[in-house]
Chains A and B, each alone.
Chain A
Amino acid sequence: MLYTLFIAGITALRDYVATHVLTCLVPAFFLAGAMVTFINRQSVLMHLGGQASKPKSFTLASLASFFIAACSCTVIPVSSGLYYAGAGIGVAFIILWVAPASNILALVYTGNILGSELLIARVVAALFMAYVVGYVMSWVFCNEGPPPTTAMPQGDMEKAIGREEIILILLLALTLLLPNYLVTEGPYIYKVGVWGIGSSITAAYAIGSQNNDRLIEWMRETWWFVKTIFPLLLGGVFLVGVLGEVLPEELIKEYLGGNSIASSFAATLLGSVTYFATMTEAPFVDKLMQMGMGKGPALALLLTGPGLSLPNWLAIARVFGFKKALVYVPLIIALGTLVGWFFGNFIF
Chain B
Amino acid sequence: MKIVIAGSGCAKCKATEETFRRVCAAANFIADIEHLYDMREIAKLGVMLTPAVLIDGKLVMSGKVPADQDVKKLLGIS
* A residues at B contact (CB < 8 Å): 36, 41-42, 45, 73-74, 76-78, 80-85, 148, 150-153, 217, 220-221, 224, 227-228, 315, 318-319
Contact = CB atoms under 8 A, between A and B. Distances in A.
Contacts of A151: 46
A152 B11 CA distance: 26
Contact of B49 (A78, A84, A221): A78
Interface in B32-78: 39-40, 42-50, 59, 62-65, 67
Chain A contact surface mostly: helix
B10 interface: yes
Nearest to B63: A41
A319 B8 CA distance: 12
**Main SS of the interface on chain B?**
loop
A78 B40 CA distance: 11
Nearest to A48: B48
Contact of A77 (B11, B39, B64, B67): B39
Interface of B: 8, 10-12, 39-40, 42-50, 59, 62-65, 67
Given A76-B39, A224-B65, A315-B39, A84 B11 contact: no
Contacts of A221: 64
Contacts of A82: 48
Contacts of B8: 73-74, 76-77
Contacts of A228: 11
Given A41-B49, A73-B10, A74-B50, A81 B64 contact: no
B44 A77 contact: no
A45 B62 CA distance: 13
A77 B12 contact: no
A295 to B, nearest CB: 34
17 contacts: A41-B63, A73-B8, A73-B10, A76-B8, A76-B39, A77-B42, A80-B39, A81-B42, A83-B43, A84-B40, A84-B44, A148-B44, A150-B44, A153-B46, A153-B47, A224-B12, A319-B40
B10 A42 contact: no
B46 A152 contact: yes
Q: Which 9 A-B pairs have the closest CB atoms?
A: A81-B48, A84-B43, A80-B43, A153-B46, A150-B46, A77-B50, A319-B39, A81-B43, A78-B48
B46 to A, nearest CB: 4
A278 B63 CA distance: 19
Nearest to A155: B59
Contacts of B64: 36, 217, 221
A16 B51 CA distance: 33
Contacts of B46: 81, 84-85, 150-153
Contacts of A84: 40, 43-44, 46
Given A42-B48, A45-B48, 5 more contacts: A77-B49, A84-B46, A151-B46, A152-B46, A227-B11
B44 A42 contact: no
B71 to A, nearest CB: 14
